[in-house]
Structures are given as structure tokens and as C-alpha cells.
Amino acid sequence: DTEVTQTPKHLVMGMTNKKSLKCEQHMGHRAMYWYKQKAKKPPELMFVYSYEKLSINESVPSRFSPECPNSSLLNLHLHALQPEDSALYLCASSRLLAGSSYNEQFFGPGTRLTVL
Amino acid sequence: DQQVKQNSPSLSVQEGRISILNCDYTNSMFDYFLWYKKYPAEGPTFLISISSIKDKNEDGRFTVFLNKSAKHLSLHIVPSQPGDSAVYFCAASGGAGGTSYGKLTFGQGTILTVHP
């Protein structure tokens, strides 16, 4: 199984709503990532989890709250978002090789988020 | 500060000919480079990678060349097919350990169109 799955595919939410994005992989990868991608731009890293612990937070606003309940699952909890947060949210996973930057990340299909 | 640059926003090629996509980087700590292909509203798909100890890596129709002294890499697709039409992102990782570990830095992408 070489797939990263993400749910939902599309999400529309108001600025006062609370919602969550989910990501799952069964490749035994111990690193998982959240990216945000705006139209015609490259993916922008938000968070990295290594062995279920948050290792990188790219100064993301606190209205985005990541969670890694186990080695296969990654969530992104959303609260009080702004219209400018509308984007494609991508999850990725990779192996973790100690002391190595060999880092082939495998991406899910993304969640298209629209904030009204 | 754009550490990975793809200076050609778009490239148009005839079916059967060679497509050459270019990428330049500035950070000498990068030691692993990847190419991803992305269709609209989908996650990036990993294509091919190369470590800094090599200057060429080949996989079927795809070949990546790395010129470390020039801090330049290129992706060659031969022969090009209409199904190759997509956005191609170059990405780099490096500085194993510390806060850079697990982070991919992406270029802005090049839109490849292969005409039948």
C-alpha cells in the first residue's frame, strides 16, 4: 500500500466553524507533514511530525492545530479561519532515516478548503 | 529568499521530442533533490530523485542530471507524451539533523504542455 489518503476531498466552512482534516498512511512511515498550497504556487510546509512528535512548526497561526494520534494518522484541526486560509491542504509521509536528508515524501490528494 | 528556483514558468514541447526542465539552487547544504509532477486539484506525485554524490539518475523515460558546481539540476523526459502535461516541481532537502531535517524546499514549478 503506497497511498496517502485524505478526507474530506472538499470542505466549505464559515469563519466561526470548527472542523478537522484527516490523513492516513499505511506505509510504515514515521514522518508526516502538512502543507498548504495556493493556486499557481508551490506547496508550503506547515508542520512536520517525527515519531508522532511535532518536530517542525513553520510559524503557523494557532487557528491551525495539528495532532498525530498514532503513527498512521495525522489530523489538522481548524478553528476561526479566515477567507485567506482557503487553499489546497496536502498531507505527506516519508521514511525517517537517522542522520539522512534522503526524503522522498509521498503526498495525498489534498483537501480543497474554502472559508466563507 | 528563494533557495530553489525554476526560472521557466512554462514549456511547450511536441509529442515524441525531449522535454528539459531546469532548476537552480543557492543553498550549498542541499544534498538531495527530487522532482514531482502535479495535476490540477491533486497532490504532487514523486517522479525521481538524485543525491549529491551522483551526477545522473535514470528511471525509464525520466533522467535527472545534477551539476553541483553550478548548483543546477535538470529533468529530461524522452520521449515526451501528452499525458506528461502537468506542473513539474523541483525540490531539495539537506542539512540532515536539526530543524532542517524533514523539510523540502520547492521551486515555483514549470507548466509542461506536450502537444500531440
The predicted-structure confidence for B40-74, as pLDDT tens digits, reads as follows 878 999 999 999 999 999 999 999 999 999 999 99
Q: How confident is the model at residue A81 (pLDDT cuts 50, 70, 90)?
A: very high
The predicted structure's pLDDT at residue B94: 79
**Higher pLDDT residue, A93 or A103?**
A93
Nearest to A99 among B97, B106, B108 (CB): B97
Average pLDDT along chain B: 92
pLDDT tens figures, A10-27: 999 998 889 999 999 999
Taking contacts as CB-CB distances below 8 angstroms, the residues of chain A near B36 are: 107
Listed by number, the residues of chain B in 5-44 with a beta carbon closer than 8 Å to a beta carbon of chain A are: 31-32, 34, 36, 41-44
Q: Which set of grid coordinates corresponds to residue A38?
A: 495556493
Determine whether the interchain pair B31/A105 forms a contact, defined as Cβ–Cβ distance below 8 Å.
Answer: no
Minimum distance, in Å, between the CA of residue B90 and any CA atom of chain A: 10
Residue A15 CA to residue A18 CA, distance in Å, equals: 9
Q: What percentage of chain A reaches a pLDDT higher than 70?
A: 94
Residue A95 CA to residue A105 CA, distance in Å, equals: 8
Determine whether the interchain pair B94/A101 forms a contact, defined as Cβ–Cβ distance below 8 Å.
Answer: yes
> Percent helix, strand, coil in chain B (nearest 5)?
5, 55, 40
Taking contacts as CB-CB distances below 8 angstroms, the residues of chain A near B100 are: 101
Q: Are A115 and A14 in contact (CB under 8 A)?
A: yes
Q: What's the whole-number mean pLDDT along residues B82-104?
A: 80
Residue A91 CA to residue A107 CA, distance in Å, equals: 6
Determine whether the interchain pair B43/A4 forms a contact, defined as Cβ–Cβ distance below 8 Å.
Answer: yes
Q: B107 CB contacts (<8 Å, ≥6 apart)?
A: A42, B2, B4, B5, B6, B23, B89, B90, B91
Q: Which set of grid coordinates corresponds to residue B28?
A: 550549498
Taking contacts as CB-CB distances below 8 angstroms, the residues of chain B near A102 are: 32, 49, 51, 93
Q: Please give the C-alpha separations between residue A83 and each of A16, A60, B34, B51, B74, in angstroms, as whole numbers.
A: 11, 16, 32, 40, 37
pLDDT tens figures, B1-34: 679 999 999 999 999 999 999 999 999 988 899 9
Q: What is the Cβ-side half-sphere exposure of residue A8, based on CA atoms within 13 angstroms?
A: 9
The predicted structure's pLDDT at residue B95: 60
The predicted structure's pLDDT at residue A1: 59
Has residue B96 got a pLDDT over 60? Answer: no
Average pLDDT along chain A: 92
The predicted structure's pLDDT at residue A40: 84
Q: Which set of grid coordinates corresponds to residue A77?
A: 484541526
Contact status of A41 with chain B (Cβ, < 8 Å): yes
